[in-house]
Chain A
Amino acid sequence: MTQYHQFDVVIVGAGGAGLTAALHASKTASTAVLSKLYPTRSHTGTAQGGVGAALGNIEEDHPDWHTFDTVKGSDYLGDQDAIEFMCQEAVEAVYELEHMGLPFSRTPDGRIAQRPFGGHTNNITGKPVPRACYSADRTGHMILQTLYQQCIKHNVTFFDEFQVLDLLTVGGISAGVVAVEMLTGELHVFHAKSVIFATGGHGRIWEVTSNAYTFTGDGITVAMRRGIPAEDMEFFQFHPTGIYRMGILITEGVRGEGGVLLNNEGERFMNRYAPTVKDLASRDVVSRAMYLEIREGRGINGKRYHYLDATPETINKYAAEDGRTNPDGSPYVVTAEEILAKLPDIVDFARTYLGVDPVSEPMPVQPTAHYAMGGIPTSIYGEVYLDEKGTIMPGLYAAGETACVSVHGANRLGTNSLLDIIVFGKYSGIKAAEYASGADFQKLREDPEGFTRQQLEAIQNASGGENVTDIANEMKSVMFDHVGVFRTDEGMQEALDKVRELKERIKKVKAADVGKTFNTDLLNIWELGSLIELAEVTTVSALARQESRGAHAREDFPERDDENWLKHTFAWYTDGQVELKYKPVTITKYEPKKRVY
């Protein structure tokens, strides 16, 4: 029997964005958080190096510099009004986290510690500036724990292990969601005035990925199946330093602390690609450099990886070469103990998964699928846009990686994802509650859970003998090879053909599990269907964009083309077809310039 619930605000997802939204919405509105995981399992917890805010605790810094760096990092595709809003809000947002109890690492005088990160610079000298506010190398873990703790303190209502499979709309207005309770397999209708999607990213599309198994883009797919577009889906970030073959993230903070990338000749090759900031260039720039080095035969032993060297000898050698100094002007020198204290989890990952001790040996790394710049299009208040003209869907909100504000444009800077979730989580929560206070519940259609039941029954009744793992592997492999760091028309066409083939083949996957209790088999198949749709949307969006910008690097169109492509992609998925439209980028202060690091 379907169960029925009613709340003013329903939040889907309990990572950083969802929990921040919950803390704010629940102040004035009855609020429920639905999450397919226990909240503390959310992917926010895996973020490592820091959250960006121009506190200036170590060196001079300004929100304006943060704004410019983010605009430049986005390869001028980010909307400048939204970026300015985020970077101005950053300082207060980080202090709010500290006031909630977040255990930041500290400076000698007791303030929040900060470290340099890729693309964050002193706008006068062009040199890296310490802007990432950190808690060792587990900043995301601390944010997730702190927000969840505050939710407990404020008695937020949670429905843990409830997976949302449909968005209810009535006459173009958001009316609630349908979820399956994983424990019982029962469907639940959540009737709501406001719905906030905060479901994270979809990096499981690619073979080598830093993303959790559960990062399957549920929110975007559910929204798209109800006619909502997805923005800038061709822009997906490949982080330069994933553990070779496994993809597990090694934070950019390693390079912030002075670690360097070396090729097979022992050369610090980023010197050639980004002469000013070197290893701390933007992620897209570094990932491309690694691919080019591999193509030139300078991967380690001719293979598809490089060394990330964070041994004190190497760090100190290159810090001296760069003339890097401490705030008091003394030369920057680190010891093995300091590396252990600042990067304990990285040391642990390297020892566990590589059998390598990073304070004495280099780590083998390769670019790994990491972050969706694209997603559900929103205003700075999380309001969801229905089209490229800015029409807002009443009662629907999105925040965090699942959304596209757009503040990251074509390439996100490190530390701006944690910033994104706390700033836009907050404003979507406030706005959703505000809207709910003046809105009525929409009258639901009969059998609101019908579409959900239909989707699940289709999987249970399928026939044709296809295997879900085979299909997943084929998708991941073709997407990693052809819709990855470098792209061509030919390769992407091949990927698109394959993805469309898989879209048909997945209809022939039958769930082996016929039970109701924790039927993860059924839900995994549903999730793979979601990933395949997003892979198609990504590829179609990427094929159409005939230029190179940020993370979208085309060998057949190697230059950025502002005349024709300084615009956002809006993609709709209707009747199994992807339709594209475009929206101009908002430029306020910063005219597009050539992007050099």
Chain B
Amino acid sequence: MQVTLRIFRFNPETDKKGHYEKYKLDAEPTDRVLDLLEYVKGYHDGTLSFRRSCAHGVCGSDAMRINGVNRLACKVLVQDLKKKKITVEPILGMKVIKDLIVDMEPFFDHYRSVMPYLVNDEPPPKKERLQSAEEHARFEDTTKCILCACCTTSCPSFWSGEKYVGPAAIVAGHRFIFDSRDHAAAERLKILNDAFGVFRCHTIFNCTEACPREIEVTRAIGEVKKAIATGKVD
């Protein structure tokens, strides 16, 4: 079938602002949008720039706005899209560096700000620390995060000011706050209770819709809010 790709283009070395370019190409219904971008880069315009690596939804490199919603380009097939005119743009709320590549540094800064690592200063046992299947299930959902930024950059609160720590960082906090082996929940809850923390979330659910890993992001944020409100992690 024929599809038209409408791609946001911006070259910082020559352009004052971005524009859109159209490319008509033949596609299989089972082609990934990433396959189409590779084809455009290979045969239409080698200057088209985007990040990609694993090409099957695990590494988190290729988050983009595809027909107005945040998706991984490698996880959307042509047949999944209703329209044969496919608009591809960089994710919102981040500085565009070139074409579909945005500056991810502020995103990772937010991630790093929530102490996204296990804190437990007790000497570990000779073998593994025990954790029941139920205790593991308590935070398993948020361990799936691949830091693609689909959630954070779909959030209106984040768009309105990138100081908001954003859903992905809260998900990272949640992953440790509810891990029975961790001892720093109180510190993380304090960080997330900041003016730019969890209470900037207005339960719009864009993040949950956007997550390519099907993490229940809004629910995780709700659990962190509740833990702050009650002072209890359970």
Contacts and interface: CB of A to CB of B under 8 A. Distances in A.
B101 A41 contact: no
A469 B135 CA distance: 49
A488 interface: no
A45 B146 contact: yes
Contact of B56 (A98, A110, A353): A353
B136 A103 contact: yes
A212 B60 contact: no
Given A105-B136, A214-B53, A352 B97 contact: no
Nearest to A515: B13
A535 interface: no
A149 interface: yes
A512 B112 contact: no
Contacts of A152: 112, 116-117
Given A98-B129, A104-B128, A40 B146 contact: yes
A202 B39 CA distance: 21
Nearest to A516: B13
A193 interface: no
A111 B128 contact: yes
Contact of A46 (B54, B108, B181): B54
Most buried by A among B46, B98, B129, B145: B46
A45 B75 contact: no
Interface string B45-67: 11101111111111111000000
Interface size class of A (residues with CB under 8 A): 35 or more
Contact of B132 (A41, A43, A106): A106
Given A45-B146, A512-B45, A517-B13, A149 B59 contact: no
A248 B75 CA distance: 12
Chain B interface: which size bin? 35 or more
Contacts of B46: 468, 511-513, 521
Contacts of A352: 57, 75, 77
A487 B140 CA distance: 44
B96 to A, nearest CB: 11
A98 to B, nearest CB: 4
Contacts of B128: 94-95, 98-99, 104, 111-112
B55 A212 contact: yes
Given A94-B128, A135-B143, A212-B53, 19 more contacts: A37-B53, A38-B104, A38-B147, A43-B59, A45-B59, A46-B54, A95-B126, A101-B120, A103-B143, A103-B179, A110-B133, A138-B144, A248-B55, A467-B43, A515-B11, A515-B98, A519-B49, A520-B50, A521-B47
Interface of B: 11-14, 30, 38-39, 41-43, 45-47, 49-61, 75, 77, 97-98, 101, 104, 108, 112, 115-120, 124, 126-133, 135-136, 139-140, 143-147, 176, 179, 181-182, 214
